[in-house]
Every structure is written in C-alpha cells, then in structure tokens.
C-alpha cells in the first residue's frame, strides 16, 4: 500500500470528481461526434482556473514557483502515474486533450536549459485561459524507429532552418509551441538528432490534417509540415553543448523512460473501467450464488490480478526515476506488460456482457476501440522487446 502525501491524495480525488462530472461525458460525446472537444470548451477553462491541476494527468507538475519544493519534486513521478490512471479510468482521450505542456513538457524537463524551461513553461502558470504544448517525433517514414527521422535542421546564420513533415502529434493544432525532433545529418543516425521549440505563429509551420481515428477520439492527432521554418538559436533545446557524445538522443529516450510507465498506467485505468462495468452488470443481471455468476466473477478476478501487476510495474519504474536511478528496463517492462493485460480486460468484459456490450451506446464498445493505441503509443510492443533484450542481454543497437 502506498502511503501518499496529502497533496497527492487531493490530486487523485479531484481528478476522480472531475472525471465523473466532465471527462466521461465529454469522451462519450467526442466518440459519437468522431472529433475532439473544441479548444474553447468550458471544461478546459475550468481546468486552467483551478490551477492547471488536471493537466498533470499526462505527466506534468507545476512548471516552477509552486508546489512543495524538493518534496513536490520527489512526488512528481508518482503523482503523474496515479493521476494518469485515474483520468484514463474516466476517459483517456479527454485526459490527453487537457491543457498543459504535454509530452513537450517532459522533453523540456529532460533536455532544456533552466532559461529555456523558464521561458517555455512559465506561461502555463497563467491560469486565465488554457495553454497547450506538444512534441513531434513521428514522421511518415519514422515511427517507433526514431533513428530514421528525416526532418532536416540546418544552421543558417544566427538561427536554424527546419524542413520536413511530422504526423500523429497530439494537440499540435492547438499548441502554442511544439518540440520538434530533427537531424543535422541523416548519416549520423541518433548522433545527428536535435530538438527545437517551434512556436505556433512561426512562418512555414502549417497544420495539414487532423486525423479521423477509430478510437481515442477525445483528443486531436495532427500532421504538419515545416517549410523552411526559421527558429532562433536559443530555441535549440539544451544548446549546442548538450548534443555532444550522443546526449541529444539520450535526452529523448530519457523522456520516454518517464512517459512509458505513465502511458501504461493510463491503460490500467482503462482496464479498471472495463472491469467495474462488467462487475456492475454481473451484480445486476446474474442470480446471486448462481454458477454463471461465479464463473464470470472468477474470470474478472483474474483480470483484476493482471491489472494489479501492471500497476506495480508502473509504480516501480517511476519509483526508480523518483530516486534518481536508471529505469529504462523497468519503463519498458511496464509498457510491454500492460497493453495485452488491458486488452484482455476489455475483451473479457465484452464476453461477460455478451450482446449488451457491443451496442454503440455502451462504454465497452468504445473502450474496445480506444485500447488499441496502448500497443502503439510510446514505442510499439516490438520496440519494447528490443529495449528489454538490449538491457538484459546486450542485444546490439542499430546505428
């Protein structure tokens, strides 16, 4: 049992209440409409006015100047996992749409200089209206194998010029800035990677498509192009010295070592939602002490055990991060284990409900479509197996 601090308990309780009142209804409505809530939705303003608390369900905490000092920093990874699970219980898509720096904030924390963190994260302390940030790594020819990034960065005078295309970027169309990963030389592989903050109004930055998705419709997923986008030198995260000796790519991977267990924890929340839905159905529809009821409860108990194990893997990974220990292996363990467990949870719940579970007005049908992204986001399952093999057995890396 985790002995949570007062602030963490309050955060989880507030996410639970907001999830019940707003997030689940918004998620169901977004799924029916096949598009995310608009950026001016009143709920986003409510989140901002309440101090941006709910935006931390995707892994962020106060950018600076708030919280409980070193104690708050120590609790940040654990809070992120717990609030991620709770928010995804109500609706993962809406949770990812909430105002905040998003994955871009995680990249800034692991890569940026203190001056850059102050510059780009400070606006999120303005709670008068909603703010978003984003991070773009995936390209048409570079998904989980990020070493294949082709977006080009070239030095030009006192700045940089970026050219290329990015896709599947969460919240990019409403973000005030996007952390864009590019390469200075494709032949250098990972050593050529650089991260830049591209601000929304920069000429040449153009959103070209908002994806229409099978599931997870509560947040927007955008594709954009960079047509000779000029950014100042101070927008290169970490500065030139950061990218010596492969540190740039390692900075990107350090981001995922935190966000992968958060992603897995979101899956645990979705699995819990399916489990609770099925339990409510069994209690209401199956005769007490009947054999059919007992068989269903036995199956659901197995699902509960799997979800509990997945949660422990997530907590272990962030506990290591909280204590300054290397957690790449454990982060991949959590990401590798959780998605199939969550898929079985939703599938089992559908089996228990039968025809009642696949009607479009039922939440389980939506969860069945939503859950697929767990396999893909934050690195596919195949990539996680490679990461684990490299960590355990010295499996050779690519270029």
Assess contact for 59 and 80: CB atoms under 8 A: yes
How high is the pLDDT of residue 18?
Answer: 93
CA distances from 316 to 9, 77, 329, 357 (A): 19, 11, 11, 34
Q: Based on the number of CB atoms within 10 Å of its own CB, is 69 exposed (0-12), middle (13-18) or buried (19 or more)?
A: exposed
How high is the pLDDT of residue 44?
Answer: 92
What is the rounded (10 degree) CA torsion for 248, 249, 251, 257? 180
Indicate whether 399 pLDDT > 50.
Answer: no
Assess contact for 68 and 11: CB atoms under 8 A: no
Span 164-177, average pLDDT: 95
* Cα separation, 152 vs 363, whole angstroms: 43
**Antiparallel, parallel or unpaired: β 177-183 and 133-136:** parallel
How high is the pLDDT of residue 254?
Answer: 65
Percentage of the chain beyond pLDDT 90 is: 54
Indicate whether 358 pLDDT > 90.
Answer: no
Q: Which helix (H) or strand (E) holds 231?
A: strand 221-232
Indicate whether 74 pLDDT > 60.
Answer: no
Q: Based on the number of CB atoms within 10 Å of its own CB, is 156 exposed (0-12), middle (13-18) or buried (19 or more)?
A: exposed
- Nearest Cα neighbor of 107 from 193, 48, 192, 166 is 193
Span 177-187, average pLDDT: 92
pLDDT-derived band at 70 (thresholds 50, 70, 90) equals very low
* Cα separation, 347 vs 57, whole angstroms: 26
- Nearest Cα neighbor of 258 from 307, 216, 319 is 319
Indicate whether 73 pLDDT > 50.
Answer: no
As given in the structure block, the two tokens for residue 100 are 């905040």
Q: How many C-alpha atoms does 13 have within 13 Å on its Cβ side?
A: 7
pLDDT-derived band at 2 (thresholds 50, 70, 90) equals low
* Cα separation, 137 vs 194, whole angstroms: 11
- Nearest Cα neighbor of 218 from 97, 393, 391, 89 is 97
Lowest mean pLDDT among 54-58, 131-135, 317-321: 54-58
Would the pTM of this model clear 0.75, i.e. be above it? yes
How high is the pLDDT of residue 61?
Answer: 45
How high is the pLDDT of residue 134?
Answer: 95
DSSP characters over 154-220: EEETTEEEEEEEEEEEETGGG-SEEEEEEES-GGGGGGGEEEEEEETT-TTEEEEEE---SS-TTS-
How high is the pLDDT of residue 285?
Answer: 84
Look at residue 339 and give its three-state secondary structure.
Answer: helix
Indicate whether 379 pLDDT > 80.
Answer: no
Span 257-270, average pLDDT: 91
Q: Based on the number of CB atoms within 10 Å of its own CB, is 245 exposed (0-12), middle (13-18) or buried (19 or more)?
A: exposed
State pLDDT tens for residues 188-236.
877 888 999 999 999 999 999 999 999 999 999 999 999 999 999 999 9
Assess contact for 158 and 170: CB atoms under 8 A: no
Q: Which residues are catalytic?
A: 378
């Amino acid at each position: 049992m985790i002995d949570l601090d007062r602030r963490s308990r309050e955060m989880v309780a507030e996410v639970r209440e907001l999830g019940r009142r707003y997030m689940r209804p918004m998620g169901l409505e977004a799924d029916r409409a096949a598009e995310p809530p608009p950026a001016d939705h009143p709920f986003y303003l409510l989140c901002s006015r309440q101090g941006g608390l709910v935006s931390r369900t995707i892994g962020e905490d106060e950018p600076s100047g708030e919280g409980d000092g070193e104690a708050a920093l120590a609790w940040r990874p654990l809070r992120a996992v717990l609030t991620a699970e709770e928010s995804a219980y109500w609706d993962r898509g809406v949770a990812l749409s909430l105002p905040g720096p998003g994955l871009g904030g995680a990249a800034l924390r692991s890569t940026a200089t203190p001056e850059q963190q102050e510059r780009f994260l400070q606006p999120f302390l303005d709670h008068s209206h909603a703010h978003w940030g984003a991070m773009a790594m995936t390209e048409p020819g570079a998904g989980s194998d990020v070493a294949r990034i082709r977006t080009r960065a070239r030095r030009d005078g006192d700045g940089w010029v970026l050219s290329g295309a990015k896709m599947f970027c969460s919240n990019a169309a409403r973000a005030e800035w996007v952390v864009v990963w590019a390469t200075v030389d494709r032949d250098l592989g990972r050593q050529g990677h650089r991260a830049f903050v591209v601000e929304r109004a920069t000429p040449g930055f153009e959103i070209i498509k908002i994806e229409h998705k099978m599931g997870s419709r509560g947040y927007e997923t955008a594709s954009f192009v960079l047509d000779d986008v000029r950014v100042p030198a101070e927008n290169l995260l970490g500065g030139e010295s950061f990218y010596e000796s492969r540190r740039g790519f390692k900075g990107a991977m350090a981001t995922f070592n935190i966000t992968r267990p958060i992603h897995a924890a979101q899956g645990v929340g979705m699995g819990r939602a399916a489990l609770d839905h099925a339990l409510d159905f069994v209690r209401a529809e199956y005769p007490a002490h009947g054999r059919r009821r007992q068989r269903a409860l036995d199956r659901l108990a197995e699902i509960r055990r799997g979800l509990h194990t997945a949660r422990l893997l997530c907590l272990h990974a962030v506990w290591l991060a909280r204590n300054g220990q290397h957690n790449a292996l454990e982060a991949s363990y959590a990401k590798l284990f959780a998605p199939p467990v969550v898929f079985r949870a939703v599938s089992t719940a559908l089996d228990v409900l039968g025809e009642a579970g696949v009607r479009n007005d039922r939440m389980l049908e939506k969860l069945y479509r939503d859950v697929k992204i767990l396999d893909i986001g934050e690195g596919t399952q195949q990539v996680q197996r490679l990461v684990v093999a490299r960590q355990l057995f010295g499996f050779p890396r690519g270029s």
